[in-house]
Amino acid sequence: MINKTKDIEIQEKVNLHLLKSDKFKTDLIGIYIKRPLKEKEASMNALLTRVLERGMKKYKTAQELNIHLDGLYGAILVSDVHKYGEKHVFQFKMQIPDKRYVPSNNIFLESIDTLNELINHPLIINNGFKDEYVEQEKKNLIQTIRSLKNDKASYAIRRCIECMCEGEPFKISQNGSIENIQEINGKDLYRYYREILKTSPIDICVIGNIDFDSVESVIRKNLKFDRESIISLERENIYKEIHQVQDVEEVMEVEQGKLTLGFRTNISYDSHDYEASVLFTTILGGGANSKLFNEIREEKSLSYYIYAKLEKHKSILLITAGINTKDKTQVVDLIKGNITKIQEGMITDEELSIAKKSIISSLESKSDYPNSFINYYYNQLLGSQVIDIEKLIKKYQAVTIEDIVSVSEVIELDTIHFIKGKEQVTANEN
Amino acid sequence: MRIKHKYYKSIDEKIIIGEHSSGLKVFVLPKKDFRKKHAYFMTKYGSIYNEFIDNTGKIIKKPEGIAHFLEHKIFEEHEGNIFEKFALLGARVNAFTKFDATAYNFSTVDNFYESLKLLIDFVQSPHITDENVEKEKGIIEQEIKMYLDNPDWKVYFNALKAMYKNNPVREDIAGSVESINKITKDDLLDCYKYFYSPRNMIVFVIGDVNYQQVFDTVESSLSKEFIERDYEPKLVMGDEKSEVNQKHIREKNDVSQPKFIYAFKEVKKYESEELFKRAIAIKIALIALFGNSSPLYKELYELGWIDESFSTEHSFNEFFIHTIIGGESDYPDELYERVIQEIDKVKEKGFNKKDLIRIKRKFTGRYISSFNSLQAIASLFTNYYIKGMDCFKYLDLLEEITYEYILEVFNSHFNEKYAVVSIVESDGDEIG
């Protein structure tokens, strides 16, 4: 339960969102800095979050910073970047135990001070970030990008998006590209960083057993940003004309084939049909009660995992499964067949009711998890308004089978992506 | 039910324990204002129980992967689909198999007591047939193959296989494609009868619930057949020598950078409370030596030998105890030498006392913070309970631990003689 909330603009386009709840043992602060998702910027953004953690004026090495965090009762500090559709968002988060449980009165002030050091007072040498740190983090970031292929299941999804969104910003990965990272140097990076700090919209969310007035005054005093004219960000384009479905196959060293289908839903998150498109996704491939799970796993034993997920801001639906290579055509046909069934109105009242309950239950329990809750809150802010959970639940409740059938009529298959093994896969003898 | 209350002031949490005449224990941890409620029905039966002794002293051996296979089959019903029954109540049901336990759990906002009844009912009445056992083999085979494509899983299980020669922890939890194909309906029913018995199981509930209603719901859901089952089988452990099975294990896999695990095998056995305290001491030592605030971490990170994946873990229970140091590195062999060197240095010169005080403070904060998440509390409590330990003793034990104790435990646990190196790397020197 979130007892109350308060939103205040403390500087130009620096919005503070206070969320009070006394059931947690921690306080959590999240600072979100919003940028457009662009090829070169993405690499710099991702590198920045790493370089910033390496050194500040006050804590010149990561070791000094970590010693400081240990001393704050194991405070957790995380800085990274996330893709929200075609926006690229810096997230700086700090979690501390609430003052009720540890003998420290100023732990909240100290955490704001730490965030301020991290964001506003990086270690600067000759007008640039320390070269050594930049070079080491470039290497680590490149390694992170290379390591994406270690996890074949998520790599398969990533590759499907890349093939599907050729020429669109959504193709850009959250860590950018190796080529762009290699070109970055400490001076340019710092110049760029100062620019984005001044010109990007910033949101600060604080959740915990907090006193609004004192938190507001601590933040106003200790976390100030230089502001200039603030950029505005464009809404994603979600439509694309599909002349022919792309069928891409890649060969890798895998025991199990990884199949991913990418669809355009053609339904924007702010349209009336959005909730129906979420329910469509859930009925089709949302967990153990979905059509795909029941037919492809339970009835036909063709896979262990198969599920569908929706990229909210880009209106892309992805279906992914781990299967034997020889079963590809059969599984693709079964997936298409299930969509046809929905188009023909074959959805039972139970299926609809189960899907609604599952979504509503997850909305209702958002407030049980501080981190999910502030991310959810921020995600709502990106959609330009915060719809309170009760209203959102009513919208889901109002969706009918006909609404879902109309969704199934407008979604379009764009890309079929498949990763298959190098050698002839041995027959599955059951 | 016989009822006991316990309150823990430092973290402001309480737990209510109900003990049924059959021996089944029910634990309720009330969490006011949380919307979700979670329940676990759990048996002390996991992948390591392939060989066990029944009440008459008879030794029984089953194919590897049987506990996990049984977990899948418990979901079979005489009528209808269990996932759908939970979903219609708004609840989400799941299950997992570990080395030493199998758990069935659900979470829900609404209809909690109906869902709890459903959980207790379905675990008590599986519908296992020759036909549905055969059908499951295809699904589990895909699950096993999914893990085979995961290099983290490989480097980990290779380390266990290198460390242990006879301990069943060396076998994959799901078994192998070969072993699961040997499993029959009768094998499953046999294991079900032995391990799904009141004395061998617990119920754990957490959320904004009424404990009396939880106890009443559980009590009224227990079948006569279940209550009368009084098996409490004992695991048969292979004869495991101190010596490791093989010092080095390397495997080729399509990875962007070599993955490594250095594992240290404990050769002595300890009683549960001592084991718990030692584990905390070892974890403190690991953070002091290899944590991100240690001098070694700084040195190796700046050298480019490690990245943020570098981490440590200590596993402990009555069947096996070991420490794992793992991550990704282009220099896994040189790094191993450096790690051993650092261990020897501490053995000679001791720790920095200030570091230990700071790490104890960190552990205090992290422990308290973990009581934010209902799932985290559930896994903390049940993990320790299965090991025969009480997780609420953590802060007291942490307080008790002295510098001398850490040094003593450290010196005896970390022995290069009982260490193994597991590496997964790609073929040749291609840059991927």
Report B:149-178 residues touching A (Cβ under 8 A): 149-152
Which residues in chain B have their CB less than 8 angstroms from residue A369's CB?
373
User: Could you give phi then psi for residue B381, rounded to 5 degrees?
Assistant: -60, -50
- Options B13, B19, B64, B71, the catalytic residue: B71
Q: How far apart are CA A296 and CA A314, in angstroms?
A: 27
Which residues in chain B have their CB less than 8 angstroms from residue A24's CB?
372
When pLDDT is averaged across residues A273-286 and rounded to a whole number, the result is 97
Amino acid A415: pLDDT: 98
Please give the tally of structural domains in chain B. 2
Looking at chain A, which residue has its C-alpha nearest residue B107?
A: A361
Assess whether B284 and B412 both reside in one domain.
yes
Q: How far apart are CA A55 and CA A62, in angstroms?
A: 6
The CATH number assigned to the domain holding B340 equals 3.30.830.10
- How many residue pairs bridge chain A and chain B with CB atoms within 8 Å of each other? 189
Looking at chain A, which residue has its C-alpha nearest residue B371?
A: A25
Report B:273-302 residues touching A (Cβ under 8 A): 291-295, 297-298, 301-302
CA distances from B236 to A408, B116, B168 (A): 55, 33, 9
Report yes or no on B195 lying in a domain.
yes
Assess whether A184 and A283 both reside in one domain.
no
Assess whether B286 and B210 both reside in one domain.
no
- For residue range A23-73, list pLDDT tens digits in order: 999 999 999 999 999 999 999 999 999 999 999 999 999 999 999 999 999
Q: State how far residue B253 is from chain A, nearest Cα, in angstroms.
A: 8
- Interchain proximity A21–B33, CB inside 8 Å: yes
pLDDT confidence band for A346 (50 / 70 / 90)? very high
Query: Which residues span the domain enclosing B362?
Result: 248-425
Report yes or no on A326 lying in a domain.
yes
Q: State how far residue B71 is from chain A, nearest Cα, in angstroms.
A: 14
Amino acid B430: pLDDT: 45
Amino acid A421: pLDDT: 84
- For residue range B186-230, list pLDDT tens digits in order: 999 999 999 999 999 999 999 999 999 999 999 999 999 999 998
User: What phi-psi label fits residue A74: left (phi over 0), alpha (psi between -120 and 50 degrees) or beta?
Assistant: left
Amino acid B208: pLDDT: 98
Q: How far apart are CA A129 and CA A124, in angstroms?
A: 5
Report yes or no on B229 lying in a domain.
yes
Which residues in chain B have their CB less than 8 angstroms from residue A307's CB?
none
- Interchain proximity A305–B148, CB inside 8 Å: no
Assess whether B158 and B189 both reside in one domain.
yes
Assess whether B107 and B129 both reside in one domain.
yes
- Interchain proximity B432–A146, CB inside 8 Å: yes
- Interchain proximity A255–B148, CB inside 8 Å: yes
Amino acid A425: pLDDT: 45
Report yes or no on A213 lying in a domain.
yes
When pLDDT is averaged across residues B361-384 and rounded to a whole number, the result is 97
Active site residue B342: no
Report yes or no on A44 lying in a domain.
yes
- For residue range B48-86, list pLDDT tens digits in order: 999 999 888 999 999 999 999 999 999 999 888 999 999
- Interchain proximity A25–B371, CB inside 8 Å: yes
Report yes or no on B431 lying in a domain.
no
Q: How far apart are CA A224 and CA A14, in angstroms?
A: 9
- R_g of chain A computed on alpha carbons: 24
Last residue of a domain, one of B178, B202, B235: B235
Assess whether B35 and B160 both reside in one domain.
yes
Q: State how far residue B304 is from chain A, nearest Cα, in angstroms.
A: 7
Report yes or no on A241 lying in a domain.
no
Amino acid A386: pLDDT: 78
Assess whether B275 and B199 both reside in one domain.
no
Q: State how far residue A336 is from chain B, nearest Cα, in angstroms.
A: 21
* DSSP reduced 3-state for A131: helix
Last residue of a domain, one of B172, B201, B235: B235
Which residues in chain A have their CB less than 8 angstroms from residue B32's CB?
23
Query: Which residues span the domain enclosing A63?
Result: 4-222
**Measured between CB atoms, does B136 come within 8 Å of chain A?**
yes
Assess whether A257 and A156 both reside in one domain.
no
Residue B348 has pLDDT above 70, yes or no: yes
Q: State how far residue A199 is from chain B, nearest Cα, in angstroms.
A: 31
Helix-helix angle A62-71:A39-54, to 10 degrees = 60
Assess whether A304 and A395 both reside in one domain.
yes
Report yes or no on A106 lying in a domain.
yes
Q: State how far residue A235 is from chain B, nearest Cα, in angstroms.
A: 34
- Interchain proximity B254–A153, CB inside 8 Å: no
Please give the tally of structural domains in chain A. 2
E strand or H helix that includes residue A322: strand A316-323
Which residues in chain A have their CB less than 8 angstroms from residue B114's CB?
none
- For residue range A218-233, list pLDDT tens digits in order: 999 999 999 999 999 9
Looking at chain A, which residue has its C-alpha nearest residue B366?
A: A74
Which residues in chain B have their CB less than 8 angstroms from residue A254's CB?
149, 254
Q: State how far residue B180 is from chain A, nearest Cα, in angstroms.
A: 11
| Pairing assessment for the beta strands A412-421 and B2-8 based on DSSP bridges | unpaired
Looking at chain B, which residue has its C-alpha nearest residue A422?
A: B254
B354 Cβ contact partners less than 8 Å away, ≥ 6 residues apart: none
* DSSP reduced 3-state for A392: helix
Nearest CB partner across the interface for A301, out of B32, B139, B328:
B139
Assess whether A156 and A101 both reside in one domain.
yes
What sign results for the dihedral spanned by CA atoms A119, A120, A125, A129?
positive
- For residue range A255-279, list pLDDT tens digits in order: 899 999 999 999 999 999 999 999 9
Assess whether A408 and A264 both reside in one domain.
yes
When pLDDT is averaged across residues B256-266 and rounded to a whole number, the result is 97
pLDDT confidence band for B428 (50 / 70 / 90)? low
Assess whether A357 and A271 both reside in one domain.
yes
Assess whether B98 and B227 both reside in one domain.
yes
Report yes or no on A427 lying in a domain.
no
Residue A291 tokens, joined: 């059509």
Which residues in chain A have their CB less than 8 angstroms from residue B251's CB?
none
Assess whether B278 and B349 both reside in one domain.
yes
Last residue of a domain, one of A190, A207, A222: A222
Residue A429 has pLDDT above 60, yes or no: no
What sign results for the dihedral spanned by CA atoms B176, B178, B181, B184?
negative
Q: With contact defined as beta carbons under 8 Å apart, do B64 and B176 qualify?
A: yes
- Interchain proximity B302–A132, CB inside 8 Å: yes
Q: Predicted ipTM?
A: 0.93
CA distances from A82 to A102, A116, A360 (A): 32, 20, 25
Amino acid B157: pLDDT: 97
Looking at chain B, which residue has its C-alpha nearest residue A353?
A: B88
Assess whether A181 and A294 both reside in one domain.
no
Assess whether B271 and B398 both reside in one domain.
yes
In DSSP terms, which residues pair with A420 in a beta bridge? A251
Assess whether B128 and B93 both reside in one domain.
yes
pLDDT confidence band for A353 (50 / 70 / 90)? very high
- Interchain proximity B302–A153, CB inside 8 Å: no
Amino acid A428: pLDDT: 43
The CATH number assigned to the domain holding A332 equals 3.30.830.10
- Interchain proximity A136–B304, CB inside 8 Å: yes
Nearest CB partner across the interface for B150, out of A22, A151, A428:
A151
DSSP letter string, A269-333:
TTSTTHHHHHHHHHHHHSSTTSHHIIIIIIIT--EEEEEEEEETTTTEEEEEEEE-GGGHHHHHH
Closest by CA position to B137, among listed B38, B239, B63: B63
- For residue range A382-391, list pLDDT tens digits in order: 987 778 899 9
Looking at chain B, which residue has its C-alpha nearest residue A3?
A: B33
Closest by CA position to A239, among listed A342, A165, A343, A319: A165
pLDDT confidence band for A204 (50 / 70 / 90)? very high
Mutation test of the interface with chain A: which of B89, B293, B370, choosing the one with the most A Cβ atoms within 10 A?
B293
Assess whether A269 and A375 both reside in one domain.
yes
Residue A426 has pLDDT above 80, yes or no: no
Amino acid A253: pLDDT: 87
pLDDT confidence band for A423 (50 / 70 / 90)? low
Report yes or no on A234 lying in a domain.
no
pLDDT confidence band for B237 (50 / 70 / 90)? confident
Q: State how far residue B107 is from chain A, nearest Cα, in angstroms.
A: 10
Assess whether A290 and A412 both reside in one domain.
yes
Q: How far apart are CA A372 and CA B104, in angstroms?
A: 25
Burial of B420 (0-12, 13-18, 19+ CB in 10 A): buried
Which residues in chain A have their CB less than 8 angstroms from residue B90's CB?
357-358, 360-361
Last residue of a domain, one of A158, A189, A222: A222
Report yes or no on A236 lying in a domain.
no
Looking at chain A, which residue has its C-alpha nearest residue B35?
A: A365
DSSP A299: I
Nearest CB partner across the interface for B34, out of A75, A350, A368:
A368
Nearest CB partner across the interface for B358, out of A71, A303, A365:
A71
**Measured between CB atoms, does B364 come within 8 Å of chain A?**
yes
Last residue of a domain, one of B235, B268, B285: B235
Assess whether A148 and A185 both reside in one domain.
yes
Amino acid B239: pLDDT: 86
E strand or H helix that includes residue B170: none
Report yes or no on B242 lying in a domain.
no
**Measured between CB atoms, does B141 come within 8 Å of chain A?**
yes
Assess whether A322 and A392 both reside in one domain.
yes
- Interchain proximity A253–B253, CB inside 8 Å: yes
Assess whether A23 and A87 both reside in one domain.
yes
